[in-house]
Structure 1
Amino acid sequence: MEPSTVREQLIEHAVTLMMTHGYNGFSYRDLSSLVGVKTSSIHYYFPKKEDLALEAVNVYSRDVMGAVATIDASLPADKKLDRYAKLFGRVMGDGTQICLCGMLAADIESLPDDVRHAVQAFFKTNEAWLTKLLEEGQADGTLRVNGKAEGAARVLFASFQGSVMASRLFHSKARLDDVVNTVKAA
C-alpha cells in the first residue's frame, strides 16, 4: 500500500534509509529531497530525529509482527519457521537492506533511550514468538532444540539477524536457508 500522507511518506523513507545506512547515515535533508518537502515541514511532523526514528521503529515493529501473526497457526512448526524466514527475506528487498531493528542495534550506543528501548522490545517480541515456536516444534517433532527453547530462540533470532547482514554482504539470500536448516529435524 502506497503511503498517502506526507507523514507516512516520511516514515517509509526513514525506515528505508535507516535499513540501508543506519540511524546516523541519513538526515532530514535526505528525506526532504525524497519526499519533496522542506526540512521545516519534516520538523513539523517530527521535531527531532529521535521522534522520527521512534515512530519508524514502532511502525516497522507493528508491520513485522502483523505479518508474523498472519502465519497459519494450524501449520506444523517447521512450516511456520519457513514462513518466518520468508519474512526476513522480504525485509532484504533487493539485497541492499537489513532488518531495521538489526541495523539500529548496531548503532545502539548512539541511539536515544526511547529508540533503544523500542529496538530491544522488537528483539524480545521476536524471541518470545520463536520460543513458543521452538517448544511447539519440539512437541510435534519437526524442530530440534539443544537446551532450553528460550535460549535457542535468542540464538536463532541472532542467527536470522546475522544471516541478513551476511546475505547483504555476499549478495545471496541462501544464508537464510542455512539458519532454518540448523533447527529442522531430520
Structure 2
Amino acid sequence: METTSTVREQILEHAITLMMLRGYNGFSYRDLSELVGVKTSSIHYYFPSKDDLVLEAVNEYSSEVLQALGSIDAALAADAKLSKYAKLFARTLGDGDQICLCGMLAADIGSLPDNVRLAVQAFFKANESWLSKVLAQGVQEKTIAIAGKPEHAARALFAAYQGSVLTSRLFHTKSRMDEVEALWRIPK
C-alpha cells in the first residue's frame, strides 16, 4: 500500500532539500509554496516562522542521520563501520549538488537563531562522538591509524567529510569522499 505524505511532511522535505542546495538565506516560503502547491499561508499554519521551519528541518534531518548511524552493525570492525559511514555521508550529495544540511547551516550560522545553532552543534557533536568511538575501536583493532586522541581525530575526520561534500560539489566529483576515507585506513 502506497502512503502519501502530508502537506507538513512535503514542506519539511522540500525545505531540507532547498537548504542543502541554497542555504538558509537561499529559499523562501514562496519557493516552498510553488513546490508543494499550497499558499504561503498554509506553510505559516504549520511553521509560523522560517526559524520554526528550519529548527524542525534540522531535527528531522538529524534524526534520520542518527537513525542511519544506529543501524550500522555494532559487531562490525571499525574500518567496515567507517566505510558504511562514508557511504551514508556520500548519499548527502544526491546528484552532486547538495551539502549536508547541518554543514550548510553551519556556514550560515550568523543568520540563525540560537535554538537552530544549538541543534546544528548537537548534530556535529553526535557525529563526532560516534566517529570517536569507531576510531578508538579501530586503533585497538589496528585497522585504523590516528594521531592523537580519538575525539580530536573524530573532529578532524568529520570536518574532512563536511569539506569533502563541499569540494565534491565544487568540482562535480564524488571522488573527494573516497579520498577522505582512504586517509584513515591502515593498508593490509
TM range (shorter): over 0.9
Quick check: 1:60 aligned with 2:53? no
Residues 13-58 of structure 1: CA deviation (Å, up to 9, x unaligned): 0000000000000000000000000000000000000000000000
Q: Aligned partners of 1:84, 1:3: CA distance in 2, in Å?
A: 29
Q: CA RMSD in A?
A: 1.1
2:109 corresponding residue in structure 1: 108
> Structure 1 residues 9, 2: CA separation in 2 closer, same or farther (over 3 Å shift)?
farther
For residue 2 of structure 1, report the CA deviation from its aligned partner: 6.8
Q: Aligned partners of 1:173, 1:133: CA distance in 2, in Å?
A: 23
> Structure 1 residues 8, 115: CA separation in 2 closer, same or farther (over 3 Å shift)?
same
Counting only pairs closer than 5 Å after superposition, residues 37-116 of structure 1 correspond to structure 2 as: 37-116=38-117
For residue 73 of structure 1, report the CA deviation from its aligned partner: 1.2
Q: Aligned partners of 2:114, 2:50: CA distance in 1, in Å?
A: 13
- SS across alignment from 2:185: coil
Quick check: 1:166 aligned with 2:167? yes
> Structure 1 residues 146, 3: CA separation in 2 closer, same or farther (over 3 Å shift)?
farther
For residue 185 of structure 1, report the CA deviation from its aligned partner: 1.0
Asked whether the 8 Å contact 1:3–1:12 carries over to 2, the reply is no
- SS across alignment from 2:163: helix
1:132 corresponding residue in structure 2: 133
Amino acid at match of 1:10: I
For residue 3 of structure 1, report the CA deviation from its aligned partner: 5.8
Give every structure 1 segment of 4 or more consecutive aligned residues whose post-TM-superposition deviation is greater than 4 Å.
Answer: none
Q: Matched residue pairs, number?
A: 186
- SS across alignment from 2:90: helix
Q: Aligned partners of 2:28, 2:87: CA distance in 1, in Å?
A: 31
Q: Aligned partners of 1:79, 1:31: CA distance in 2, in Å?
A: 39
Q: Aligned partners of 2:4, 2:182: CA distance in 1, in Å?
A: 36
Q: Aligned partners of 1:19, 1:89: CA distance in 2, in Å?
A: 13
- SS across alignment from 1:147: coil
Normalising by structure 1, we get a TM-score of 0.98
2:33 corresponding residue in structure 1: 32
In structure 1, the gaps of 5 or more residues are none
Amino acid at match of 2:166: M
For residue 62 of structure 1, report the CA deviation from its aligned partner: 0.3
